[in-house]
Every structure is written in structure tokens, then in C-alpha cells.
Amino acid sequence: MEFLMSIIVGILFTCAVYLILSKSLIRIIIGTVLLGHGSHLLLLTMSGLKSGSAPVLMDNISEYADPLPQALVLTAIVISFGVTAFFLVLAYRAYQELGTDNMEQMRGTESHD
């Protein structure tokens, strides 16, 4: 199971890198979202995917899934959610001001020498 998940994480990272290297800003943001998904999935996978019940304390159950990475992923998800929301608004504002979403046209050179 970990093997399969590792492959999926790898595919997510590949797609993320491909999208981040593209010209359009919205594709780049989609890429960062995929990168976030990949690293969250990696965090769950790396702590082991052995079968056990959900980490809720109940009678008659001795095997639980590791609760720690679930807490970590929950934290990481809300953080990347906040950052993505900010990034999307930033992209919208930049589109309004600069009139383009093409990263090639966003080179900042006019003030440097």
C-alpha cells in the first residue's frame, strides 16, 4: 500500500512541478495546490498505512492508526488553505493592476540597472 501511495505522491509532485514551470499564473497556483496535496499525502504515507481503526478511543479495540500524522496533516492543510486563498487574491489583484497573468511579462527589470 505504501508503495502505491508513493507512486501517487510522485505523480502529484511531477504534475505540480510541471504546472509551476508553466507561464500562466493560475496554472502555477494549481501546481502549488497539487504540491500541497502531494506533501500531505506523503506525510500520511510515511507514517505507515497499517490497518487499524480510526484513532478514537473505544472499548474492545487495540490497534489504532497513528494519530500524530493526522494532526500534522490537519495543521498543514489549514495553513496551505490560508496561503492559497491569499495567493489567489494576490493573483486576482495582480491581474487587475498589471493586466496580464503571463509570468513572462512580469519580469521586474525597469527599476534595476
Partner 1 sequence: MINLPLLPILIPLLAAVILMLFPKHIAAQRVISIVTAIATIIASAVLVAAVKQNGILTVNLGSWPAPYGIPLVSDMLSALLVLTTSIIVLFVLWYAIYYSDREYESYFFYISVLFLLVGLNGAFTTGDIFNLFVFFEVFLISSYLLIVLGGKKGQLRESIKYVLINVISSALFVAAVAYLYAVVGSLNMADISQRIEALNEPGIISVIGIFFLIVFGLKGAIFPLYFWLPGSYHAPPIPVLALFGALLTKVGIYAIMRTFSLFFYQDGGYVHIVLGALALLTVIIGSIGALAYRDVKMIIIYNIIIAVGVILYGVAVMTPDGLEGAIFYLLHDMVIKAALFLLVGIMMAIAGSSHLKDMGGMIRDYPWIGWTYFIGALSLAGIPPLSGFIGKLLIVRGGFAAGDMIGPLLILISSLVVLYSAMKIFTNGFWGTPREYHGAKAHLATRLWVPAAALILIAIAYGVGAEAVRPFITQAVEPLVNPAIYIDAVLKE
Interacting residues with partner 1 (CB under 8 A): 20, 25, 28, 32, 35-36, 38-40, 42-43, 45-48, 68-69, 72, 75-76, 79-80, 82-84, 86-87, 90-91, 93-94, 97-98, 106, 108, 111-113
The SS3 assignment for 64 reads: strand
Q: How far is the CB of 60 from partner 1 (least distance, A)?
A: 25
Angle between helix 25-46 and helix 67-98 axes, rounded to 10 deg = 170
Cell 495582480, located at residue: 94
The DSSP secondary structure of 55-100, one letter per residue, reads S---TT---B--HHHHHHHHHHHHHHHHHHHHHHHHHHHHHHHHS-
Q: Which is nearer to partner 1, 60 or 112 (CB)?
A: 112
Q: Which is nearer to partner 1, 55 or 59 (CB)?
A: 55
Cell 495567493, located at residue: 87
Q: Which is nearer to partner 1, 60 or 69 (CB)?
A: 69
Measured CA to CA in angstroms, residue 21 lies from 36, 77, 95 at distances of 16, 23, 19
Q: Which is nearer to partner 1, 60 or 107 (CB)?
A: 107
Q: How far is the CB of 58 from partner 1 (least distance, A)?
A: 21
Q: How far is the CB of 79 from partner 1 (least distance, A)?
A: 5
